[in-house]
Amino acid sequence: NTALVQLLPLGAVSLTLGSTLLPIGLGVLIRYRHPRAADLLVKISLWSLLVTLVILFILTGTMLGPDLMAHIPASVYTIAVLMPLAGYALGYGLATVFKMPPHCRRTVSLETGCQNVQLCTAILKLTFPPELIGSMYMFPLLYALFQSAEAGLFVLVYKMYGRDSYKQDTLGEEEDTDISYKKLKEEEVAETSYGTVTTEEHNSVQMEPTQTAL
């Protein structure tokens, strides 16, 4: 029972969920019906998201003024830098502990380190009064900036130095799959080879027993 925050803003929560789930549902539908169009939309949306975040950060800093940026504590900058790094490191570390393949480790790492900044800003905008959003609104913007920059550096390093190891991992997986498949086929043949059928004439079929090595 406080005037600062409404404890159950049902309208704001519904609007936030709708603005998040509807685009996700539309994306899943497009991916299911038109995979090629989905690939093109992903490329366009990623670049547009990056440009939008940069413009939003610049406009916010311009509108709120340099005084607000100067009043942000150093601890906020520190947290905005370390939180994505902690997510990337913990995601990759836990995936390694559970012996996941290399490509799954990279995926878990990025999915853990990159958080939904759009949802965070939507909750802030729909829950808090405008006069109090200013200082709160800067943290998700800083987080989005640093998580994108850090992820971009990781991807750049991987593109430069990690492709050879990725090819080796892929070849190793293919060889293991091929060997497992051959072994399975051999076991199937050994288990079902109880006898051979020979045809001496058109109307006669003779069964010759054979020994099966177990």
pLDDT in tens, 44-62: 988 888 788 778 777 867 7
- 49-55 contact pairs (CB < 8 A, 24+): 50/148, 53/117, 53/141, 53/144, 53/145, 53/148
pTM: 0.55
Average pLDDT of 132-150?
81
Amino acid at position 116, single letter = N
Give the pLDDT score at 180. 47
- pLDDT-based confidence at 176, cuts 50/70/90? very low
Instruction: Give me the torsion for CA of 78, 80, 82, 83, rounded to 10°.
Output: 140
Q: What angle do CA 201, 205, 211 make, to 5 degrees?
A: 125
Residue of higher predicted confidence among 179 and 38: 38
Residue of higher predicted confidence among 66 and 186: 66
- pLDDT-based confidence at 34, cuts 50/70/90? very high
